[in-house]
Amino acid sequence: MKVSKMPGFGSFGAIVEDFEWDQPEAYDELRELSIKQLVVSIKGDGTDNFDLLAKNDKKLVTRQPSKIMLRYGRKTHEELRELMSPEEFEFYDANRRLYIGQQYPVWHRVTGKLSEDKKAMGIFGDTELLWHSNNFLSYDWSPLVMLYGKQGMVGSSTSFLQTVDWYEKQTESFKSELNELVSICDFNRFNMIVPNARDVDMTILRTTNNAALENFRKPLVIDSVAGYRGINFSYLIKGFEGMSQVDSDKIINKIKTELLDSPEYQYDSWWSNDTGDLLMFDNIVCLHMRKTSTDNLDEIRPFLQNRVGHRISGEYPGHEDWNGFILPEFREHRQKHVEIVQNHLAQLDKPQ
């Protein structure tokens, strides 16, 4: 495969051409490149290689069991209906509709398409999607996201922002201050990320992001799987623990101005083909957003109702015990999650 530098993305980012989708060893090389470069754009030639990608996806990503799997184990749809509260089953039922099918059990759709019965077939459907990282209000969120272009992708961009170079440019005293900050986050600010979101999007986001916790605590500074230190920032942050609102706002506004509102650490990855391109990106020290060739919502919606991406997230194989928190309290939170998942997987591996 041919690898080139991603322009305008600072120290990171790679573009891959001539990827050999049918060669299993090529996926090992791609995985290591992704860990090192944070964001990798794999350019196809318009051919749909999703079957080959799905066949080899275990070389790229370890999919962790869902919260429902961890709590209930393997159960049928009707068994879960009996076991769950109405609110929990509503989430489960909405979420299962997003998955592509039994042939690809861990991949789901990002689309505005509706089924014949007018149900959403994908998340983040037909409106703006601004800077974010997935499942931000959680200690067990995934370091890696992959997005494959399946249909109608040309005319849109998945854009990226990396925080590592910005963090490294700060003074040592300010980095020390940032290292100790604990963000106070609020799910009710989600409309700053997904304006005009559909009810189904909010139903899923509420469950995957610990929405019940009005003041979710999370460290600002974190290390990527490769050990790159940056910040895990979000519009959901409303302040910092132990700091006045005035002082919190100064830091939040500095980050927004120097990172979110500046092109210095950003790259727009415009989809070259309607089908056949792939993105692999860090979900820890990077943020991502969707852009389209128009800002007119009336034009965006029909476009996104035809656009279909296939998405998967998880851990990098060989790095399932990743723990990027630098504050001891939160390292313990993450470690408990890692142990729960490992014990669960060990039980599944036992003969029945």
DSSP string covering 166-198: HHHHS-HHHHHHHHT-EEEE-GGGGGGTSTT--
Domains along the chain with CATH numbers: 2-162+268-349 (3.60.130)
Helix-strand-coil percent breakdown of the chain, rounded to 5?
Answer: 35, 25, 40
> Could you give phi then psi for residue 325, rounded to 5 degrees?
-70, 140
Q: What is the percent of the chain where pLDDT is above 70? A: 95
Please give the C-alpha separations between residue 252 and each of 34, 234, 258, in angstroms, as whole numbers.
29, 10, 10
pLDDT at 111: 92
DSSP string covering 38-50: SEEEE---S---H
Yes or no: say if 336 and 325 are a contact pair by the CB < 8 Å rule.
no
Mean pLDDT of 315-326: 94
Residues 6+ apart with CB under 8 A from 50: 148, 150, 310
DSSP E strand boundaries for 173-265: 182-185, 216-219, 221-223, 229-231, 237-240
**CA torsion through residues 146, 28, 314, 222, sign:** negative
Q: How far is Cα 173 from Cα 28, in angstroms, rounded to an integer?
A: 39
**pLDDT tens-digit series, residues 14-73:** 999 999 999 999 999 999 999 999 999 999 999 999 999 999 999 999 987 666 777 777
For 214-242, b where at least 16 C-beta lie within 10 A, e where not — what string? eebbbbbbbbbbbebbbbbbbbbbbbbee
Q: Residue 352 pLDDT more than 80? A: no
Q: How confident is the model at residue 348 (pLDDT cuts 50, 70, 90)?
A: low
Please give the C-alpha separations between residue 169 and each of 10, 165, 313, 326, in angstroms, as whole numbers.
12, 6, 30, 19
> Could you give phi then psi for residue 246, rounded to 5 degrees?
-60, -50
Yes or no: say if 282 and 39 are a contact pair by the CB < 8 Å rule.
yes
pLDDT at 37: 98
Q: How far is Cα 122 from Cα 306, in angstroms, rounded to an integer?
A: 11
Cβ neighbours, 10 Å, residue 82: 9
Residue 180: which of 286, 326, 335 has the closest Cα? 326
Residues in the chain: 352
**pLDDT tens-digit series, residues 58-117:** 999 998 766 677 777 778 888 888 888 887 887 777 778 888 987 887 899 999 888 888
Yes or no: say if 269 and 43 are a contact pair by the CB < 8 Å rule.
no
> Could you give phi then psi for residue 12, rounded to 5 degrees?
-130, 175
User: Tokens 């489960």, residue?
Assistant: 92
